[in-house]
């Protein structure tokens, strides 16, 4: 597509870019539908939609192996509950997780492409993605180049995402928008549009690092873009919230937004994820009715 084509795509979108309208829509959805979704069945689904995440400077092969082993033990201890959807780690640990992980329906996810800033040479980003996939990653989470986006260089943004998508080969690619830095509904909408038309399999709110994390405001705009894109192309793109989603209440709120904007079809771990480190214990405690610190 030409540069003008991307500008046209953004300009043609019917998704609202009005911040007040987005806030009002979110409030209305939660007021009308949150209570009906705050159930044990939904909590179980949400447990199975978690990308269990460790992204610390102190991560090591041994600590990541122990982290992964917990997921193996969970399946043995709680066979009636769903396992998490994926284990998300830095790319140099892909092979560790792949080697230790025994649960067949849990994916290996790696943040890549110079996470969390996306500031490096494209050759470095491509190599990192390729090495993560070679190490066993099923899913790759990259960060949209916000500098180029905010400069209005849409072609550069699209070219980079497209090249990284190619480097993913058969792995699923999630594009992190860093919505806490984009801030406005217009920026979040436009970044979402560029990402989905560049081949993103998921769009994700945040890195959870430098800027504010996930927000219901961003989730609503992103889901509206996914809906509009699906209606135009027939291709389903997933949604992932990440960065600060720690409580059961927050998780149910995101579930409610996804359900009301995108519908029942998106309530599947192949199309809806929550990136979290502490949420799994909170969800498990809610399901079992007692405080559990398993993970």
Active site residue 209: no
Cβ–Cβ under 8 Å, residues 85 and 51: yes
pTM of structure: 0.95
pLDDT band (50, 70, 90) for residue 2: low
Write the secondary structure of 86-116 as one string of H (helix), E (strand) and C (coil).
EEEECHHHHHHHHHHCCCCCCEEEEECCCCC
Question: Helices marked H in 48-93 — which ranges?
Answer: 61-77
Given 51, 107, 138, 141, the catalytic residue: 141
Active site residue 141: yes
Given 125, 174, 240, 259, the catalytic residue: 240
pLDDT digits (tens, 9 = 90+) for 210-234: 888 999 999 999 999 999 999 999 9
Res 3 pLDDT > 80: no
User: CA distances (Å), 138 to each of 159, 211, 214, 249, in order?
Assistant: 22, 27, 23, 29
* Residue that is written with structure tokens 């994700």 in the block: 204
Active site residue 236: no
**Which whole number is the average pLDDT over 50-79?**
96
pLDDT digits (tens, 9 = 90+) for 139-158: 999 999 999 999 999 999 99
State the average pLDDT for the chain.
96
Sign of CA dihedral 148, 87, 189, 194: positive
Share of the chain above pLDDT 90, in %: 94
Share of the chain above pLDDT 70, in %: 99
Res 68 pLDDT > 80: yes
Given 165, 204, 259, 269, the catalytic residue: 204
Res 249 pLDDT > 90: yes
Dist CA 217 CA 180 (whole Å): 10
């Amino acid at each position: 597509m030409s540069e003008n084509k991307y500008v046209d795509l953004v300009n043609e979108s019917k998704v609202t870019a009005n911040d007040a309208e987005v806030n009002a829509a979110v409030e209305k959805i939660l007021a009308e539908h949150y209570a009906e979704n705050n159930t044990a069945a939904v909590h179980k689904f949400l447990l199975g939609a978690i990308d269990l995440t460790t992204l610390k400077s102190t991560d090591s092969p041994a600590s990541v192996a122990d982290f992964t082993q917990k997921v193996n033990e969970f399946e043995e201890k709680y066979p009636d509950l769903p396992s998490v959807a994926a284990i998300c780690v830095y790319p140099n640990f892909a092979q560790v997780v792949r080697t230790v992980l025994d649960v067949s329906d849990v994916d290996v996810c790696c943040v890549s492409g110079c996470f969390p800033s996306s500031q490096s040479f494209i050759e470095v980003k491509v190599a990192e993605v390729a090495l993560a996939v070679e190490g066993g990653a099923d899913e790759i989470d990259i960060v949209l180049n916000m500098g180029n986006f905010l400069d209005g260089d849409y072609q550069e943004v699209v070219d980079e995402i497209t090249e990284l998508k190619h480097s993913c080969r058969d792995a699923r690619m999630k594009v992190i928008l860093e919505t806490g830095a984009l801030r406005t509904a217009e920026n979040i909408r436009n970044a979402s549009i560029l990402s989905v038309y560049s081949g993103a399999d998921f769009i994700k709110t945040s890195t959870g690092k430098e800027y504010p994390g996930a927000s219901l405001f961003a989730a609503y705009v992103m889901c509206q873009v996914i809906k509009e894109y699906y209606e135009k192309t027939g291709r389903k793109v997933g949604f992932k919230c990440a960065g600060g989603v720690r409580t059961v209440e927050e998780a149910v709120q995101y579930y409610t937004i996804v359900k009301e904007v995108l519908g029942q079809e998106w309530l599947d771990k192949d199309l809806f994820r929550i990136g979290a480190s502490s949420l799994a214990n909170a969800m498990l405690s809610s399901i079992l009715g007692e405080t559990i610190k398993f993970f």
